[in-house]
Amino acid sequence: MPLALLALAVGAFGIGTTEFVMMGLLPDVADDLHISIPTAGHLVSAYALGVVIGAPLLAAVTARMSRRKVLMALMALFVAGNALSAFAPGYDSLLAARFLSGLPHGAFFGVGAVVATRMVAPERKARSVSLMFLGLTVANVAGVPVATLMGQHLGWRATFLGVSTIGLAAIAALALLIPHDHAHAPATGLRGELAALRSVPVWLALGTTVAGFGALFAAYSYVTPMLTGSAGFAEGSVTALLALFGVGATAGNLLGGRLADHSMRGTLFGGLASLAAVLLLFPLLMRTEWSAALAVALLGMAAFVTGSPLQMMVMEKAAAAPALASSANQAAFNLANAGGAWIGGLALAAGFGTTSPAVAGAALAVLGLGVAGVAYAVDRRHVPHAGRERVVATHLPEHAESFTH
């Protein structure tokens, strides 16, 4: 695999760290800015809103630019947002800086996935995407805990300065390692990218992402009360258990990329089915400490096995102009975060029990399976017989052309 994928992974590591570290710093930020913790929680929402808005917007604005320059510009915006967060004089300015930090998130992963697949052979495309996403999963294992400790000992502002430094390292890596010939400006431009989004299979693929990862966040958003209320863990043990989730997610991400190169559809369907099964078993697994720890690791693995296939599915359905659709898929991941947490909360509020969000998540995973099945069925129906003949003809030798007429 090309060394250039390391540059994308470094950028993903920085983005993953800044996305999730705010959750651990909320008490420190609230105390320093003299606001309540629920008010400080809006800083998490501001970042997510930036991702949802920025992913399609920045991908559209940069449609005619060199992919290499786009990635560097997005990381520069990321550095600026985190530096402004570090020096924000008050809550309102920090809220704006967090929104700014979220803007490049989706476009970076969307454009980065397209660049990653261009740098490898066709049979390694999913693996290349998984290696870029590796930075995101490792951020949950190492980046977020270290950044949280830094914030607790040196102040939360030091954390965002540290993340800005990671962004600068990513810019340098992108400049040095991304080859020009694999990152040229696309010929389709904005019109072609928008045309790809008019495809029904593309929207069904995006719907699969929302349902599939909504299943994860329906349970993961409430995993702490499950671990403390059902499994009997002390609150101080939760951080270590969440690291287990990160380890499982990292393993699942790498496994999913490797398997998807052999069978993307099989990996996607198998991953969603496994996720549904794990979530259905949560009420049983949360009865003892050892099985609850296993459940957390299996949740991370089952969910992130589907990460690369979901990204590749969207890019496959928008093959002629994949950058905008690929970036929109990152917005879909964040919609899944918000929607899944909301649905899990409804199950809790209805009084169905501490582990009920996991069962609600299982239903979302099954829904994702159904949407994915419809996407592939619709896609097959939309491919005309003439188109299939042209595909076959491209694999014939030149002298056999006359036999295709």
Residue 404's pLDDT is 35
Tell whether 181 and 199 lie within a shared domain: no
Report pTM. Answer: 0.79
Claim to verify: residue 173 and residue 243 sit in the same structural domain? no
Which tokens sit at 7?
């540059």
Same domain membership, residue 288 and residue 154 = no
Q: Could you say which residues of the chain have pLDDT below 50?
A: 384-405
Among 307, 324, 379, CA closest to 12:
307
Residues 161, 141 contacting (CB under 8 angstroms)? no
Question: Do 120 and 213 lie in a common domain?
Answer: no
| Together in a domain, 181 and 205 | no
Structure tokens at 371: 């949407």
The CA distances from residue 304 to 102, 331, 391, in Å, are 21, 17, 32
The last residue of a domain, from among 124, 153, 185: 185
Alpha helices in 318-384 (DSSP H): 322-349, 356-382
Do residues 122 and 258 share a domain? no
Residues 216 and 145 both lie in one domain: no
Domain of residue 3, residue span: 1-185
Q: What is the pLDDT of residue 267?
A: 93
Out of 168, 185, 202, a domain closes at 185
How many CA atoms lie within 13 Å of 120's alpha carbon, on the beta-carbon side? Answer: 22
> Do 207 and 129 fall into the same domain?
no
Task: Quote the pLDDT of residue 182.
Answer: 56
Q: Are residues 268 and 130 in the same domain?
A: no
What local confidence, expressed as pLDDT, does residue 185 receive? 58
* Crossing angle of helices 307-317 and 125-138, rounded to 10°: 130
Would you say 222 and 348 are in contact if contact means Cβ atoms under 8 Å apart? yes
Q: Do 168 and 203 have their domain in common?
A: no
Domain boundary among 130, 151, 185: 185
| Rounded-to-integer distance, Cα 304 and Cα 106, Å | 17
Q: How many domains does the chain have?
A: 2
Residues 32 and 92 in one domain: yes
Domain match, 165 and 225 both: no
Long-range interactions of 149-158: CB distance < 8 A, separation 24+? 151/21, 151/24, 151/25, 151/28, 152/25, 152/28, 155/28, 155/32, 156/25, 156/28, 156/29, 156/32, 157/85, 157/86, 157/87, 158/86
Q: Which pLDDT score is estimated for 192? A: 66
CATH of the domain at 80: 1.20.1250.20
- Whose CA is closest to 215, among 336, 88, 41? 336
Long-range contacts of 393-401 (CB under 8 A, 24+ apart): none
- The encoded tokens of residue 106 equal 């989706």
